[in-house]
């Protein structure tokens, strides 16, 4: 069993913000793979499905980004899952828009959702699907940037990337992370 966590903020007026790309990715994955309807559980919304023969619990914490770990810890504890069975889908400032990278463990790099997960799980040893949103250029502009909505022009890369992540999800579910990244890159190579 796997726990896939989309990181974001719960307010409806925040739905299109760059910080919510993790929620967006999980929504597309759940729809594409016929997950159950979302229901409230573990201080979040949960949907279940099967991808690549693996049972996947999708979780969107409704606790706000800064305390996402509370929801993740509750779900992981209930299902008795080790950190290595958890994958967080999150926005990544250090990748250009549309780039997708997967890694296990590492630092939070200033991301409050990851920082909360590290603290609540007691380890950073979970998987991360880093969804590139680009950097606004200066540290002072980061908060406004991540809490800002995607621009209309961003749809040209955002929708294809979310679709590619969903289409490639079986590779991720079966632990073939390099193949997952390669397939996402191939599916989005003509996207600007």
Active site residue ranges: 19
* Burial (CB count <10 Å: 0-12, 13-18, 19+), residue 43: middle
How does strand 54-61 pair with strand 44-51? antiparallel
**30: CB partners within 8 A, 6+ apart:** 38, 47, 49, 58
Distance of CA 90 to the CA centre of its chain: 4
69 backbone φψ class: left, alpha, beta (φ>0; ψ -120 to 50): alpha
At residue 30, the 3 state secondary structure works out as: helix
Give the C-alpha distances (Å, rounded to integers) separating 131 from 56, 88, 110, 134.
20, 10, 15, 9
């Amino acid at each position: 069993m796997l726990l896939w966590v989309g990181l974001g903020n719960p307010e409806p007026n925040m739905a299109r913000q760059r910080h919510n790309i993790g929620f967006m990715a999980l929504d597309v994955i759940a729809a594409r793979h016929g997950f159950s309807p979302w229901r409230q559980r573990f201080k979040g919304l949960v949907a279940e499905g099967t991808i690549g023969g693996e049972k996947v619990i999708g979780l969107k914490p409704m606790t706000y980004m800064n305390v996402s770990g509370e929801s993740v810890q509750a779900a992981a504890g209930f299902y008795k899952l080790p950190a290595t069975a958890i994958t967080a889908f999150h926005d990544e400032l250090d990748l250009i828009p549309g780039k997708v990278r997967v890694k296990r463990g590492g630092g939070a790099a200033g991301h409050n959702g990851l920082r909360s997960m590290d603290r609540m799980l007691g380890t950073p040893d979970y998987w991360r699907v880093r969804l590139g949103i680009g950097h606004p250029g200066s540290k002072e502009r980061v908060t406004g940037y991540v809490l800002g909505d995607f621009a209309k022009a961003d749809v040209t890369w955002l929708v294809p990337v979310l679709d590619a992540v969903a289409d490639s999800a079986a590779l991720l579910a079966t632990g073939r992370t390099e193949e997952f990244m390669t397939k996402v890159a191939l599916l989005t190579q003509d996207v600007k």
